[in-house]
Structure 1
Amino acid sequence: MIDEVDAALLSLLNEDTLPGMDIQVAFEAPTKEWTARRTAPTVNLFLYDIQEDVTLRQQGSAAEYDDGGAVVAEHDAPRWFSLSYLVTAWTSRPQDEHRILSVLLAGLVRHDAVPPERLTGTLARMALPVSLTIAVPPMRDRGLADIWTALGGNLKPSLDLVVLAPLAGSRVRAAAAVTDGLRLRTRDADTGTNESRRLNQPELAAADGVRRMGVPRDRDLPGERRRRGSGPIGAR
């Protein structure tokens, strides 16, 4: 799911937010070593935090249907996770970085969720909204200054991008539907001849009705006889 969110954000930035701009998009930690290797204007999305939103946890399961309406699998309810990205712009001039951040802010603030056409894989198949927020103060105790300290870099203007995405629950494939009918095999006690035939629907329904009434199918109904060998039931 995380890589699918990365792919959706990459598509959103390249094709919607930064079209026509010669700017690279990276997902690396903005350390001093990475900064030294950078050779072109870059927008960096560093995933610095992943947390489950337990308030959205649900119980139960959902059925998956094929084109014919048959159940093919059962899914546990998805779990929802917040993915927090530190968004920064990197050029040789601070004014250019501020301009890029302005373009990013104006473009991303228009979206309350990732457009469905940007989603792939399990996110596309679940068809659930993948919400995003930009530049909203984090609700956690840790501030962005602490992140820069941990990265070993200097504090830099940034945008906090949070994506709330579902993680698909476990999938249990349903048993294949029964398509073959019930076959009845009989053997003549006198001749030893074996016969086999498939019961039709009325016969199946009648047999099921007898079973449901509690009448054993290996006994005669009251007042009836059957042949076993050459004599009636009870003959010796």
Structure 2
Amino acid sequence: MIHEVDEALRALFRAEVMANSPVGIVFEAPTRDWAAKVNAPTIDVYLYDIREDTRRRGRGLLNEYDARGAVVARRRPPTYFTLSYLVTAWTRRPEDEHRLLSAVLSCLLRHDALPAAHLTGALGELGLPVPMTIALPPPSDRSFADVWNALGGELKPSLDLVIGVPVTDSPVFPAGPQVTDEGLRIGLAGLPPTPPPPPFPETAPALPVYGRPPGPPAAGEDGEDPPAPPGRRRGIASRVAEGRGS
């Protein structure tokens, strides 16, 4: 992803800035040791910061379609990262450096995004815009002087180029079968067949009336007292007589 942005910038500057001039394009860190070795006009495009653009973070899932227009998979929306480049010009004379920086600035101001004709690889296959901004005020958490101090070099005229790059490397979730107008058929598989119900009897057995079993009434029913157990007298009078005799 980053190397594809580098190649797009190289192609853009060669097509609209250099115009067959012998100016080189490098992506080196502009340190003291490197600057001492530069012996030809050069544009240095140094990548010094990479971070996610949380303002463009998406939610939900995006559908992927086949040739029939049916959803076959879903994936997360692309994540955008900002690539910050420090663009400097290196010649023997400061006036030539200023002319070269002016040409680079004019070229970048003509485009709100990297031209699609210069996008290659996976970045070109996405078909998404790659926006860029040039020479905006730096964020509050860093300054260009801090960048030069970290590089160990002297402060030099430069352009701050920020490019927003979409990254689509995310899990792919296959979609379920498409629902049509014919509806769904739901069934259970792997279960034993259900046996048929038993046949209904031709004659039903006699049922008891109010809970009484069929047959002649037992002793004690229909208002009669049940027979007394052996060795025991019946009635209240017998018990009273037994009590008096004692």
Residue pair 1:77, 1:169 contacting (<8 A) in 2 also: no
Equivalent in the alignment of 2:26: 26
- The 5 Å alignment of 1:86-97 reads 86-97=86-97
Structure 2 residue 109 is the aligned partner of structure 1 residue 109: yes
Return closer, same or farther for 1:16/1:69 CA change in 2, 3 Å cut-off.
farther
Match of 2:123 in 1: 123
Q: Which runs of 5+ in 2 are unaligned?
A: 198-246
Going from structure 1 to structure 2, the CA distance change for 1:87 and 1:221 (only over 3 Å counts) comes to: farther
Distance apart, 1:33 and its partner CA: 1.3
Considering only CA atoms, is the larger Rg found in Structure 1 or Structure 2?
2
* Whole-Å separation in 1 of the counterparts to 2:88 and 2:161: 10
Corresponding residue number in structure 2 for 1:174: 174
Q: Which one-letter code corresponds to 1:139 in the other structure?
A: P
Contact residue 114 and residue 129 of structure 1 kept, 8 A: yes
User: Is contact 2:114-2:129 (8 Å) kept?
Assistant: yes
Query: What does the per-residue CA deviation read over 1:25-47, in whole Å, with 9 as the maximum and x for residues that have no partner?
Result: 11110011111222321100011
1:208 alignment counterpart: 185
Mean CA deviation greater in 104-113 or 54-63 = 54-63
Once residues 3 and 174 of structure 2 are traced to their aligned partners in structure 1, the CA distance between those partners, rounded to angstroms, is 28
Match status 1:98 vs 2:110? no
Given that 2:61 and 2:76 are in contact with CA atoms closer than 8 Å, whether structure 1 keeps it comes out as: yes
Question: For residues 9 and 208 of structure 1, do their structure 2 counterparts lie closer, same or farther at Cα, with a shift above 3 Å needed?
Answer: same
Q: Secondary structure at the match of 2:185?
A: helix
Distance in 1, matches of 2:176 and 2:62, equals: 18
Taking the aligned partners of 2:33 and 2:67, their CA distance within structure 1 comes to 52
Of 163-172 and 79-88, deviating more is 163-172
Amino-acid identity (%): 49
Contact 1:17-1:108 within 8 A present in 2 as well: no
Closer/same/farther in 2, CA of residues 72 and 112 from structure 1, 3 Å limit: same
CA distance in 2, matches of 1:17, 1:72: 45
Question: In the alignment, residue 131 of structure 1 is paired with which amino acid?
Answer: P
One-letter identity of the residue aligned with 2:2: I
Deviation (angstroms), 1:7: 1.5
Q: Tell me the equivalent position of 1:199.
A: none
What is the CA deviation profile of residues 6-54 of structure 1, one whole-angstrom value per residue up to 9, with x for unaligned ones? 1111111112332222111111100111112223211000111112111
Deviation at 1:65, TM superposition (A): 2.9
Mapped partners of 2:192, 2:113: distance in 1:
62
Change (3 A) 1:220 1:17: farther
With over 3 angstroms needed to count, the CA separation of the structure-2 counterparts of 1:61 and 1:122, relative to structure 1, is farther
CA distance in 2 between counterparts of 1:88 and 1:221 reads 89
For the Cα contact (< 8 Å) 1:89–1:97, is it kept in 2?
yes
TM-score (norm 2): 0.69
CA distance in structure 2 between the partners assigned to 1:221 and 1:44 by the alignment: 87
Aligned to 2:8: 8
In 1, distance between residues paired with 2:27 and 2:163?
15
Equivalent AA in structure 2 for residue 165 of structure 1: V
Residue-by-residue CA offset, 1:160-218 (whole Å, 9 max, x unaligned): 111011111414263898xxxxxxxxxxxxxxxxxxxxxxxxxxx8x937x49xxx894
Pairs aligned (count): 192
TM-score by length of 1: 0.71
What is the aligned-residue RMSD (CA, Å)?
2.9
Q: Deviations over 1:35-78 (max 9, x none)?
A: 12223211000111112111111122212334454545432111
Partners in 2 of 1:75 and 1:27 — Cα distance?
34
Report if the CA contact (8 A) 1:28-1:46 is conserved: yes
Q: SS at the partner of 2:14?
A: helix
Letter paired with 1:90: W
Q: Which structure 1 segments of 5+ residues have no match?
A: 178-204, 223-236
> Partner of 1:39 in structure 2?
39
Contact 1:83–1:162 at 8 Å: present in 2 too? Answer: yes
Contact 1:88 1:158 in 2 (8 A): yes
Higher strand proportion, which one? 1
